[in-house]
Structure 1
Amino acid sequence: MKFRLLVMAFCLVAMSAPAAAQSPDFGAVARGSGTPEIPGLKLVWLAPWGDVAKAHPWRNIIVHQTEGPAGSARGGALEQAKNPTRRGVTVWVETDGTVYWAVPETLVPTHGDGANRNDNKYVDNGPTFHQVIGDTSIGVEFAGNYPDVARPATEAQIAAWRILVKVLRARYGIPLDRVYAHNWIDFKDARYCEGCALATLARQPGF
């Protein structure tokens, strides 16, 4: 009887081991440098990571959506890589889920419009007003909502975002409540809420 129980216990451990192995340690990955492989993410490195201790002190994440067509993330990222501080962001996400890391994490692209929203429509703007700006926030741009600006992110983009936001938060120590949609902090295009669905997803503890 004891032998049978031991065999059953061994089988349970053996069955649970593969499941544990399939859960990547994003915290460990996020502490790396260079161009690490991130499980579950197709990432094109145009600018490698350096020493995270020397990275710009990012305190927030701002989610953007560009009116470019499908396929435009690569072009936007390449242009950003040529001129890192132009209007744009550090990270670009294509409709097929491919992620382009375009800018060294020590540099600050021009994005955000000054955190001018103060109406508390989406979030409490007390701590965001003129505070959650490009200099304090790493930007992520999701391409593909042209010609319909209200078109949601694709399933592939959402799957990539599920991993990417964990890596960004782990690398820079950014809490859940500091992931913002562009529309939450700036008065933007009234036709749609830019980045709102993606930022809302990211703030869900189980996302």
Structure 2
Amino acid sequence: MDLTTLALPQEPAGGIAGWAADLVDVLGGPGAGLAIALENLFPPLPSEVILPLTGFAAGQGVISLFSALFWTTLGSVVGAAALYGIGALFGRERMHALWARLPLVKAADLERTEAWFARHGTKAVLLGRMVPIFRSLISVPAGVERMRLPVFLALTTAGSLVWNSVLVLAGYWLGDRWDTVGTYVGLLSKAVLVLVAGAVAVYVAVRVRSRGRPGARPGARHRRAD
């Protein structure tokens, strides 16, 4: 059975969907897992295309539904573990050295971030696996902060299983309309990008404004006029 022909009957067998379909055709479930592992390492590869397509493949009998969920979740964990390793190799000292060279930031900002991750890192890793864009990036600070590996792997597996199940099952149930999933997840990704860009813009504006008032003294505005 040619999955590419089934999944893309009116489109050329190219692009991300064609590539993923070829992997599943040739390798079955492990091909879907490989595609998702690479998606974790290279976020421009969209999981909102690969996962529903894998679900569609399961619906067509190319692979089993269990295989689709098992291999895509395993691929997610392998990709996340690789990013965790990169973060661990980079290390906290290098992160502080790099941070010190960046404009408009302070060492205290990074220290607060580290303190926040120490308190909420487990929730960040678990829930971050279900948020577009952050689902890959969250593995790096987990490695930098040396979150215990068994905990990281367990949280990543749980979060990935939820995210993958939603998208794989959507493709399974939608059949030849599997590609509509990407439209809605793409809108969610754009919303996340807008929120992040807005937060960064506010942060930069506050930093620039504070540096533009070097003579300002803390507490001066609290002084009472005589």
TM-score with structure 2 setting the length: 0.25
Query: Counting strand residues as a fraction of each chain, which structure ranks higher?
Result: 1
Give the structure-1-normalised TM-score. 0.26
Determine which structure has more spread, i.e. the larger CA radius of gyration. 2
Structure with greater helix percent:
2
